[in-house]
Amino acid sequence: MAFKYRDSFVARLFDDIGAMLGGDSGVAASIEPRLNELVCANSPAVIDYWKRTRRGLGVPDAAFKGNPPYLFADEPPVRTFRTSGTTGGERGAAHYSARGLELMNLSILANARRHIVRELHSPVILRMVPSAAAAPDMVIAYGMEYIAKAFGHPELSTCVLGPQGVDFALLQQRLQAALAANLPVVLIGASFAFVNICDTCEAQGQRWQLPPGSRMVDAGGFKGRSRAVDVDTLRAAVERVFGIPSRQCINLFGMTELASQLYDGADVPLGPLGERPKSVLPWVRPQVRDAHSLELRSSGSGLLEVVDLCILDRPYVVLTGDRGIATEAGVASAGRIERGQSRGCSLTLDEITQGAAARD
Amino acid sequence: MTEESLEERRISWMPAWASAAKLSSFAIADHQPPWLCQRPEALHWPWVGENLRRVQTQLREFPVARIIAAIDTVAQRWTDRTFGPRQRCRDQVVVATGFSAEAVERSFDVELRNYRADFLERTLRRELGNPELLDHFCPDEQLPGSALALGPRITLGVFTGNVPGLPALSLIRALLVKSTVIAKVASGEPTFAARFVRTLAEVEPLFGEAIMVTYWDRNDTAALRAALGQVDAVIAYGSDDACAAIRAHVGSHQRYIEHGHKVSIGILARNYLAQIGTAAVAERIAVDVSVFNQHACIAPQTYLIEGTLDEARAFGQQLATALDNYAVACPLGTLEEAEAATLQLRRTSAAWAAATHSHCDLWRGDGLDWTVVLEATIGTVSGSGNRVLRIVPVNDLADALRKLQPIASYLQNIGLGASGPEFWHTAQELARMGACRICEPGRMAEPSMMWRHDGEPCVAKLLRWCDIEMHREADPTAN
């Protein structure tokens, strides 16, 4: 029997997830079993999927294309975010109910407070991602703006990415203003955006020594990009250009399919590009499944899965499509798993059909 | 490392004339323990060219019949599963590719039987008419006059590692036209070529002098250009990008044969299934999918099945049984983590599709040995070999042809299960679309030596010709 959105079971679960995000550790242990009960009751597809694969296995990112899973047939979504479509053409979608969206908001803030803002008060938050108005279905645009509004300096915080790319004049102006007022700056943007911005600034001989406490948050890695830069090279460039030391740089792993983000938890290079292990939090944790058996493993590499206890509207365990590396220091994301591998003269159908689509 | 284990790690073959002083020794670190290789120093590629051209002046004096006989002896040995060098090579290929030993054995069986004398002679007769055209001027009534076929002095072969034993094909095509060879092996399977050449050299020592097997990284354009500078012809295998990178450096004076990306497909007509029986057809398709672990471009990625969704689903179950039975006798082998992860993602995507769409389904082995996916279209799920077959129901064979249209330019090998006028009509349409081989389901993995590979006469394409016409010596009616 499916739970309705307005059933007390769902209302209590919503309240308790909120309490967990507020720091109430007493409720955390009961949330995952209840989320599991909700998914099993409301999504026969997940039960069927587990029968065909393995019980408890995260749903693949491919599940969010076409007819994405949404647990409350009786409650239309209030918001939908969409994937970029960089890994397979068709864009995926994640639907949110009002409660689900509120939990995502709480998770974003709890994570930002812990990993980004920390001791700062009203820093200048400069976003190198589109504004939420410019990209209403892009979750990173929404989340970054939400963080900036909640924690950022109200006058000086802004988005510096417009339709024509980075607005360097605006970036310079806000950096100068922050320097003049001795306000720490938080630079937030996609990993590849930082590479381009640092390249441009260095080519133009522009450098800043931002006030103490300034920091950088990069997200997204180099998925679908022609050029991959290792973590320490990127951070060295950020230090040269903005005067932000490497220890004040942090990487964020987010997916449209998730409500919570994963942030670096230790400054230990683990992945091939020096990727750091992500924090395990009471409400979101990365884990790695063995590529051969799909069993969870505490060390070694395999398929990266995320258990996100802030997802109320969809299956809360997601198989990311990324490679994960598990060590005692934690789990790092280490790039995308190839969807099809051509070998010699043998080509995969997807490559042909995508190539044909690209030419159309 | 003992001398024996060092020998096992060696992947190059250097002719006796190749002085060690002009060679560099290095290790390919992709594998642990690494493969060991020798390659001419950058400055010494002209010396390689000089020596291979010298050897070719001897090789060109060999009658083609002698060359065929020697290759036949080699093929006879290599088609014997108890032949020691083949057994040792099999073990190395298992290490390099992760294929099970039986999968390598079956790859060798299919690949190497093509080089028996009968097939070689028929290939030459098909492509040249008279094999003796390679030995001396032969009368040509159509000129009228005489003609002589001349192979390249040196051919460069750039190989891939996807099919165990495949480098033999290019080596033998080159030897048939009396060409010496520089063979560049692939890091994915670098072991077979040198071991095969060792047997060629044992049977016919001049072959050992005429072939150099070596390696350079695919991005090492300096080595590629240095080798290209010495050759008259190039045979290249690889991806579109890899082939384009080679083609960019080939001169207009050089013959170039490319085996780039291709896709193979099967089609089953309702009448054919009724005639042969669905279980029997499923067993045959299991062979198509499993040989070479589906890494070859001739292996089907998809079978289009005339019938309803329910009929296709029932056939999927039979395919699952057939693939499982095949895997018991011939397992897939061991996948590297990246390949296993790709396969698992594909399975999870297919499992979700099956859980949410009535027109989708999934069957899989307990391990990673085989996977069957029922889909509505031919191209919504990634494929990467390792015995993963997509089946797609179609209304009729015209519907099958329509579904293939988007990939027409890549079509290669078609397992066509049809009969009578329906077979001939569909075959003609497939040929017009781009297919270059049509065979019975179950025979997709074993194209003959005589097949015009990728639609080309691959032996004849290496040749240049000299015709004598309008001369009384060759045509008594002249003047």
**pLDDT range class, residue A356, cuts 50, 70, 90:** very low
- For residue B439, what pLDDT is reported? 98
Provide mean pLDDT across the span B445-463.
Answer: 95
What is the residue extent of each domain of chain A? Answer: 100-336
- For residue A28, what pLDDT is reported? 86
Q: Which residues contact B418 (CB under 8 A, 6 or more apart)?
A: B267, B268, B269, B271, B272, B397, B426
- For residue B383, what pLDDT is reported? 53
Q: If you measure CA to CA, which chain A residue comes closest to B409?
A: A352
Tokens, residue B54:
């010298």
Interface predicted TM-score (ipTM): 0.91
- Distance in angstroms (rounded) separating the CA atoms of residues B269 and B13: 49
**pLDDT range class, residue B239, cuts 50, 70, 90:** confident
Identify which of A62, A339, A349 has the shortest CB distance to residue B407: A349
**pLDDT range class, residue A341, cuts 50, 70, 90:** low
**pLDDT range class, residue B69, cuts 50, 70, 90:** very high
A304's enclosing H/E stretch is: strand A300-308
**pLDDT range class, residue A358, cuts 50, 70, 90:** very low
- Distance in angstroms (rounded) separating the CA atoms of residues B395 and B244: 39
Q: Which of B452, B465, B471 is nearest to B134 (CA)?
A: B465
Contact B297 A347 (CB under 8 A): yes
- For residue A220, what pLDDT is reported? 79
Contact B342 A337 (CB under 8 A): yes
User: Is B113 a residue whose pLDDT tops 60?
Assistant: yes
Shortest CA gap A30–chain B (Å): 27
Q: CA B417, B418, B419, B420 torsion: positive or negative?
A: negative
- Distance in angstroms (rounded) separating the CA atoms of residues A255 and A319: 11
- For residue A88, what pLDDT is reported? 53
Name the average pLDDT for chain A.
91
Provide mean pLDDT across the span B137-165.
Answer: 95
Tokens, residue A317:
């365990």
- For residue B55, what pLDDT is reported? 98
Q: Which residues contact A197 (CB under 8 A, 6 or more apart)?
A: A128, A166, A171, A189, A241
User: Is B4 a residue whose pLDDT tops 90?
Assistant: no
Q: How many CB atoms lie within 10 A of CB B161?
A: 22
Provide mean pLDDT across the span A33-48.
Answer: 97
Across B336-349, b (16+ Cβ under 10 Å) vs e yields ebebbbbbbbbbbb
Highest mean pLDDT among A59-63, A335-339, B176-180 belongs to: B176-180
Tokens, residue A122:
């009203």
Task: Using an 8 Å CB-CB cutoff, list chain A residues near B368.
Answer: 292
- For residue B190, what pLDDT is reported? 94
- Distance in angstroms (rounded) separating the CA atoms of residues A267 and A249: 10
Could you report the per-residue pLDDT of B245-295, keeping only the tens digit for each?
899 999 999 999 999 888 999 999 999 999 999 999 999 999 999 999 999
Instruction: Map out the domains of chain B with their CATH numbers.
Output: 3-261+455-467 (3.40.605.10), 263-447 (3.40.309.10)
Helices (H) and strands (E) in chain A, counts: 9, 16
- For residue A360, what pLDDT is reported? 27
- For residue B381, what pLDDT is reported? 39
Residue type, A21: L
Does the A100-336 domain belong in CATH 3.40.50.12780?
yes
Cis preceding-peptide flag for B144 (omega within 30 of 0): yes
Q: What is the largest CA-CA distance in chain B?
A: 82
Contact A14, A71 (CB under 8 A): no
User: Is B380 a residue whose pLDDT tops 50?
Assistant: no
Contact residues, B window 377-406, toward A, CB-based 8 Å cutoff: 378-385, 390, 406
Contact A286, A306 (CB under 8 A): yes
Provide mean pLDDT across the span B317-339.
Answer: 97
**pLDDT range class, residue A294, cuts 50, 70, 90:** very high
Shortest CA gap B163–chain A (Å): 8
**pLDDT range class, residue B382, cuts 50, 70, 90:** very low
Interface test with B, best of A345, A349, A359 (most B CBs within 10 A): A345
Does B407 touch chain A if contact means CB atoms closer than 8 Å? yes
How far is residue B395 from each of residues B268, B311, B476, measured CA to CA in Å?
11, 11, 63
Provide mean pLDDT across the span A324-330.
Answer: 92
Three state DSSP letters for chain B: CCHHHHHHHECCECCCCCCHHHEEEEEECCCCCCEEEEEECHHHHHHHHHHHHHHHHHHCCCCHHHHHHHHHHHHHHHCCCCCHHHHHHHHHHHHHHCECHHHHHHHHHHHHHHHCHHHHHHHHHHHHCCHHHHCCCEEECCCCEEEEEECCCEEEEECCCCCCCCHHHHHHHHHHCCCEEEEECECCECCHHHHHHHHHHHHCHHHHHHEEEECCCCCCHHHHHHHHCCCCEEEEECCHHHHHHHHCCCCCCCEEEEECCEEEEEEECHHHHHHHCHHHHHHHHHHHHHHHHHCCCCCEEEEEEECCHHHHHHHHHHHHHHHHHHHHHCCCECCCHHHHHHHHHHHHHHHHHHHHCCCCEEEECCCCCCEEEECCCCCCCCCCCCCEEEEEEECCHHHHHHHHHHHHHHEEEEEEECCHHHHHHHHHHHHHHCCCEEECCCCCCCCCCCCCHHHCCCCHHHCEEEEEECCCCCCCCCC
Q: CA B71, B77, B81, B86 torsion: positive or negative?
A: negative
How far is residue A134 from each of residues A137, A156, A161, A172, B75, measured CA to CA in Å?
9, 19, 10, 22, 67
User: Is B429 a residue whose pLDDT tops 50?
Assistant: yes
- For residue A340, what pLDDT is reported? 64
Helix-, strand-, coil-residue percentages of chain A, each rounded to 5: 35, 20, 45
Contact A338, A79 (CB under 8 A): no
Contact B407 A342 (CB under 8 A): no
Contact B345 A60 (CB under 8 A): yes
Q: How many CB pairs under 8 A join A and B?
A: 158
Could you report the per-residue pLDDT of B166-203, keeping only the tens digit for each?
999 999 999 999 999 999 999 889 999 999 999 999 99
CA torsion angle A8 A10 A16 A21 (round to 10): -150
Contact B356 A338 (CB under 8 A): no
CB-facing half-sphere around the CA of B230: CA atoms within 13 A: 28
Could you report the per-residue pLDDT of A83-99, keeping only the tens digit for each?
886 555 678 999 999 99
Interface test with A, best of B99, B356, B358 (most A CBs within 10 A): B356
Q: Give B369 or A342, the one with higher predicted confidence.
A: B369
What is the CA angle B275-B322-B334, rounded to 5? 150
Task: Using an 8 Å CB-CB cutoff, list chain A residues near B380.
Answer: 350
Token pair 């044969």: residue: B257
- What percentage of chain A exceeds 70 in pLDDT? 91
Contact residues, B window 287-326, toward A, CB-based 8 Å cutoff: 295-297, 299, 301-302
